[in-house]
A and B are shown apart, each in its own frame.
Chain A
Amino acid sequence: MPTPILEIRNLQVTFNTPVGPLVAVRGVDIDVHAGEMLAVVGESGSGKSVSFLAAMGLLPRSATVTGSALLDGQQLVGMTPKQMRSVRGRLMSMIFQDPLSALNPVHRVGAQITEMLRAHTKMSERAANARAVELLEIVGIPQPGDRAMQYPHEFSGGMRQRVVIAMAIANSPKVLIADEPTTALDVTVQAQILEVIQRVQVQFGTAVVLITHDLGVVARVCERVNVMYAGCFVERGNVHGIFEQPTHPYTRGLLASLPQTGVGRLVPIAGFPPNMLRPPSGCAFRARCDHAVEACGSAIPPLVPVGESESACIRASELMGRK
């Protein structure tokens, strides 16, 4: 395996809240390889967004980030705001669920892309304007020359997300973090945006981290999958392995809870995620797990190879055989 473009080690994020410290991310390792499409899945509050907001230096001051995040050899954790600004938008970009909040309502979209280009390069204004139009064309906006002169409110939701993608890839970053980029969109528009993201990944060789709760989206576009629960990774591996032979009871529960065939009863996961102000000892999933034994409470289980995947369940190999 070549060295990953983004290498996160033992990342921990703690929020200081009025009622005490909340550990949102509890020591995760993530490798993102050049040009790949990596999925990070999990439910609300699992820490999937926070992990990458931490790497991007986008968390509020109430958050304490420890550990290491190496982007192409550069340590991101502990960077000064000024150093961070030169990384964001140049080497690593992030797009969000709501494109409207990422755009300035009083500036033309072309100017916003131009600003992104000129912030990191010595490009002339004229060249940057021309490049902005090219970028709008790349993300599939018809009549890009005219559209560059319009304001965000003149665009539909799907078109706005395309504009945001154009901004994010303006400086050909090595890594694009896409945080629920299609969650607010209708399915027919979601299909279009996923295609744009895939095109960017292939055409520019950008590594894409797709943060999502939608396992269907993962099945469609991702190669490797990381499953997160209560601030830890519980399973990771190849998309086919994870979907066909999930090794962690949480992954299995998540897949079983989806309505797929239209018949029979759905199988929910009992209970709900733990309160991270008082995280449980050991495996965070054990309170909801049918297979939990006493040993599950002793320590947070590390990811170990099981079959084709890696699983953070101490009984994974034993349960695999049982089906």
Chain B
Amino acid sequence: MSSPTTSPLLSVRHLVKEFQMKAMRKSGRKKRIVQAVTDVSFDVHRGETLGLVGESGSGKTTVGRCVLRLIEPTAGQVAFDGVDLAQLKFEELRQVRRKMQIVFQDPYASLDPKMTVGASIAEPLVVQGIDGNHEEKVVSLLELVGLSADHARRFPHEFSGGQRQRVGVARALALDPALIVLDEPVSALDVSIQAGVVNLFGDLQQRLGMSYIFIAHDLSVIRHIADRVAVMYLGKIVEIGPAAAVYEHPTHPYTKALLSAVPLPNPRVERARSRIMLEGEIPSPINPPSGCRFRTRCWKATELCTMQEPVLEIRAHGQLSACHHPEV
């Protein structure tokens, strides 16, 4: 590909994903549409980590899956290294997919219990028809993720949760990807184990230079690992920008409320700070609120927020946010 290195590795524009809900026979209810992702645009640059945060139902996982075309987007473009993935035929897509991988939340579910760990890690090489000494490659991958050569002959049940997640990472690395989608990769792990896996992601990026989309609901983990952060609410990005800007100077009321809701592990600080208590919960994506989707829970909402949907605008610290009454 002849694109200059300054162009983004991944470019997502106006991504929409709708799911149709089945019609209910008896109630005579019509088919309903769930808009899981509505008009989402962002870039991921080479070697950077974009954190995708939001509560359940915000659409962050759907974005991750659409990026890899694991599910078909309803509309919008996903361009990887300048190539629009939606235009690719199956075989072409398979070629591009070498460069994009995913690590799932549950390392128990994402490894075949009847395959040795070595065979699981080598499987992408087999699927992609790559020749050469797979055994050697598997050993080097195991060592890369902090495991050892003799682990290759063991089965998933012989591993702890943290080790299993490392196996998942080794498998994702097998094809030297340029982008890895990490979908809640440490949420199932205990904190003392989680720290080691988070460090591993940082180390691997430094050595191999790939980009990450790090999807998580844990804001402290994202803060630790992400260069830029996108905050999602009900299928939309409400704020996106450099991690320091978003965390230190949140401009969208939702970002502010979200950050204030995270309990800090320091009793003195935690008890002294003022908290924004949000009313209610995230509304249904079947019938989202008009105008700004956050207005039903927002303490700053006005008539304008009901009438007009805010668009992403640049703010003082370099981030974009979609709000009629941004925090300053």
Interface of A toward B, CB cutoff 8 Å: 43-44, 156-159, 186-192, 195, 213-220, 239-240, 243-244, 253-255, 257-260, 262-263, 265-269, 272
Contacts and interface: CB of A to CB of B under 8 A. Distances in A.
Contacts of A258: 191, 195, 220, 265
A269 B192 contact: yes
A268 B219 CA distance: 18
Contacts of A253: 192
B106 interface: no
Nearest to B223: A262
A242 B199 CA distance: 26
B126 interface: no
Contacts of A189: 55, 281
Contacts of B257: 188
**For the complex of A and B, 4 pairs with smallest distance between CB atoms:** A216-B263, A268-B196, A268-B195, A266-B195
A219 B192 contact: no
Interface of B is mostly: helix
A196 to B, nearest CB: 11
A255 B266 CA distance: 10
A266 B55 contact: no
A261 to B, nearest CB: 8
Nearest to B277: A191
Given A188-B55, A259-B223, A260-B264, A267 B281 contact: no
Interface in B90-114: none
B259 to A, nearest CB: 9
B265 A243 contact: yes
A187 B270 contact: no
A265 B199 contact: yes
Contacts of B258: 187-188
Interface residues of B, number: 40
A268 B203 CA distance: 14
Contact of A219 (B160, B190, B266): B266
29 contacts: A43-B192, A44-B190, A157-B56, A157-B281, A186-B217, A186-B281, A187-B261, A191-B263, A191-B278, A195-B277, A213-B191, A215-B265, A216-B262, A216-B264, A216-B265, A219-B264, A219-B265, A239-B267, A240-B268, A243-B266, A243-B267, A257-B191, A258-B195, A259-B223, A260-B265, A263-B224, A266-B224, A268-B193, A269-B192
B301 interface: no
Contact of A186 (B56, B160, B199): B56
A268 B202 CA distance: 14
B162 interface: yes
Contact of A268 (B192, B217, B224, B277): B192
Q: Which one of B192, B263, B277 has the highest number of Cβ atoms from chain A below 10 Å of its Cβ?
A: B192
Contacts of A188: 55, 257-258, 261, 278, 281
Contact of A216 (B192, B244, B270, B278): B270
B247 A217 contact: no
A88 B190 CA distance: 31
Contact of B202 (A213, A219, A240, A265): A265
A318 to B, nearest CB: 23
A191 B271 CA distance: 13
Contacts of B224: 259, 262-263, 266
A215 B262 CA distance: 11
Interface in B262-302: 262-268, 270-271, 275, 277-278, 281-282
A268 B282 CA distance: 34
Nearest to B54: A186
Contact of A220 (B196, B198, B271): B271
Contacts of A243: 265-267
Contacts of B223: 259, 262
A259 B195 contact: yes
Interface string B29-56: 0000000000000000000000000011
A161 to B, nearest CB: 11
Contact of B193 (A214, A240, A255, A272): A272
B157 to A, nearest CB: 13
Contacts of A190: 261, 263
Interface in B231-269: 243-244, 247, 257-258, 261-268
B275 A191 contact: yes
A253 B190 CA distance: 12
A214 B261 CA distance: 13
A213 B190 contact: yes
Contacts of A216: 262-265, 270
B116 interface: no
B194 interface: yes
B79 interface: no
B75 interface: no
